[in-house]
Amino acid sequence: MEKYDVIVLGAGIVGLSSAYYLKRQSRDLNILVIDKYSTYAQGNTSKAAAGFRDLFSSEPNFKLAKSSIFFYDHVQNELKFNLDMKYVGYMYLLDDETRTKYEKIIEGLEKKTKTKRLSRDEIKDTFPFINLDPDDVSRQVMKLKPISEAFVGLNCGIFEPDLISNYYFNELEKMGVDFKFSTKIEKLNLEPVNKLEYPGEPFVWQEKRISSISDRADSYRADNFVIATDVWSPMLFDPLGIDTFTKPKKRQIFQIKGENVEKALFTDKKFNEEGILPFTIMPYGVYIRPSIKEKAFRVAVSDDIGRSFTIEDDPYPEENFYAYNIRPVLLSYFPTLENSKLFSSWAGEYSISTRDDQPYIFKIMNIIFAGVTSGSGVMKGDAIGRIVSSLYLNKDYTTLYDGSSLKTDTFGYINRNVPYEEFVL
Ligand SMILES: Cc1cc2nc3c(=O)[nH]c(=O)nc-3n(C[C@H](O)[C@H](O)[C@H](O)COP(=O)(O)OP(=O)(O)OC[C@H]3O[C@@H](n4cnc5c(N)ncnc54)[C@H](O)[C@@H]3O)c2cc1C
């Protein structure tokens, strides 16, 4: 079987963007992308709520998102490849406590990106159906508090991960990158660089590398490997004793419809040009994402303690999770959605970095690992691909699409230089 210069394992947003920048920056490279599904972007990329924002507290994380958003905007508006990208905004409804807690971060973001604040009166005027004062029962039982202000990110909105993936895939095909689907890799084969043909190799004193990766039937050989296998990464790396810092956690999305959904979804054009409710975040992180085509809302929350770190083969959405965790908070602030009906739902998994909620991107031997996108991998996908390409080329700095740059090992595990991310959804 042909030996490739690089095999990229995983055809989600991270693998696609990585292959794209590897090939764009070194046109001679012979690249193969492998995935276990029958086509690209069928893993967590297809499960995303499909929102984007540059509202991150950590500077490196902010750079990843801001520059990727900038690139996707370029694809849609200059290259005319539709990504269904709409700047509807992200609106955080803050009570007094969260407002105080995040004040410093908000002030920092106000200096570096487009934002605005809405007073109570402005929220009431723009979105009259939002209830800012939860009733007594909600206050007592769920400890919900009155909303005192909204913080809004304007360089934020909604897009379609499938369309972004289509863009990279089409470009990769045009550039002659090979794809092999329906191929589940079970093993990364470790060998010494210089074989002695002694049993038990590689020994501790031998330089090591991955020579090939194998499924049940075949082995695929390459000089270098990019592994972008998201939550499934530990299955390949743990047997080698390499830590990818990946912790999987189930995340669920519920779609609701109904007459009042449409009334809340299509607002007048006071707030954004689209005349659409922004992606809105309520206390406890319960969020509501407008879905224009379906005339629906996607609602979700990321639960923490009580939700195990488990990989499920086919994660299923739990209706009771919607009924008892999401709906009560949602209705406290959006009572107009009382009669909305749940019409579809799905579940995927976040690969979480419990240390700082940010990606890991590093090189070890002849493998580049890129993952642990901590719930925001689509909106950062472009920048991650660029960092992978820089690691391959041994560049100390990576230039991102907006012209900003960062040290290529910022998201590594040795010289890791990222503060804890406070704005996780
Ligand atoms: C419910 C939910 C909501 C989300 N909302 C958002 C959002 O609004 N905005 C946002 O930016 N991000 C969001 N995310 C996060 C985002 O989806 C991920 O960060 C991103 O998709 C990760 O991309 P990836 O390429 O690393 O992973 P994936 O898309 O999961 O791709 C990994 C690929 O590797 C393949 N693979 C794995 N192991 C093997 C193997 N052994 N052999 C062959 N192939 C293998 C898989 O088949 C898969 O295609 C959300 C995630 C979930 C679950």
Number of domains within the chain: 2
Q: How far is the CA of 220 from the centre of ligand 1 (A)?
A: 23
Same domain, 327 and 278: yes
260 and 238 in a single domain? The answer is no
298 lies in some domain: yes
254 and 345 in a common domain:
yes
For residue 378, the ligand 1 atom closest to its alpha carbon is 11
Give residue 118's domain range: 90-153+248-351
Same domain, 261 and 231: no
Together in a domain, 132 and 265: yes
Q: Which residue, among 394, 421, 349, has the nearest Cα to 64 in the 3D structure? A: 421
**Are 109 and 115 a contacting pair, CB within 8 Å?**
yes
Query: Which ligand 1 atom is at minimum distance from the Cα of 186?
Result: 41
Task: Report pLDDT digits (tens) over 366-390.
Answer: 999 999 999 999 999 999 999 999 9
Separation between Cα atoms, residue 250 and residue 242, nearest integer Å: 23
Q: How far is the CA of 12 from the centre of ligand 1 (A)?
A: 6
**Inside any domain, residue 412:** no
For residues 230 and 311, membership in a common domain is answered with no
Q: Clarify whether residues 396 and 273 are in a common domain.
A: no
Q: What are 324-371's pLDDT values in tens digits?
A: 999 999 999 999 999 999 999 999 999 999 999 999 999 999 999 999
CATH number, residue 376: 3.50.50.60
Same domain, yes or no: 363 and 241 = yes
Instruction: Give pLDDT, residue 2.
Output: 85
Average pLDDT over residues 286-291: 98
Whether 20 is in a domain gets the answer yes
- In tens, the pLDDT along 212-265 reads 999 999 999 999 999 999 999 999 999 999 999 999 999 999 999 998 999 999
Taking the C-alpha atoms of residue 335 and residue 86, their distance in angstroms, rounded to an integer, is 26
Residue 363 falls inside a structural domain:
yes
Please work out whether the CB of residue 45 comes within 6 Å of at least one atom of ligand 1.
Answer: yes
Determine whether the shortest distance from the Cβ of 71 to ligand 1 is under 6 A: no
Q: What are the C-alpha distances in Å from 99 to residues 133, 264, 279? A: 16, 25, 18
Report the separation in Å between the CA atom of 349 and the middle of ligand 1, taken as the mean of its atom positions. 8
Q: Are strands 247-257 and 219-227 parallel, antiparallel or unpaired?
A: unpaired
For residue 273, pLDDT beyond 90: no
Does a structural domain hold residue 63? Answer: no
Mean predicted confidence (pLDDT) in 2-19? 97
Question: If you average pLDDT over every residue of the chain, what do you get?
Answer: 97
Average pLDDT over residues 294-311: 96
Instruction: Give pLDDT tens digits for 101-142.
Output: 999 999 999 999 999 999 999 999 999 999 999 999 999 999
Whether the pLDDT of residue 270 is over 80: the answer is: no
Same domain flag for 343 and 259: yes
User: Based on the domain organization, do 332 and 194 belong to the same domain?
Assistant: no
Residue 114 included in any domain = yes
The rounded percent of the chain whose pLDDT value lies above 70 is 100
* CATH number for the domain harbouring residue 314: 3.30.9.10
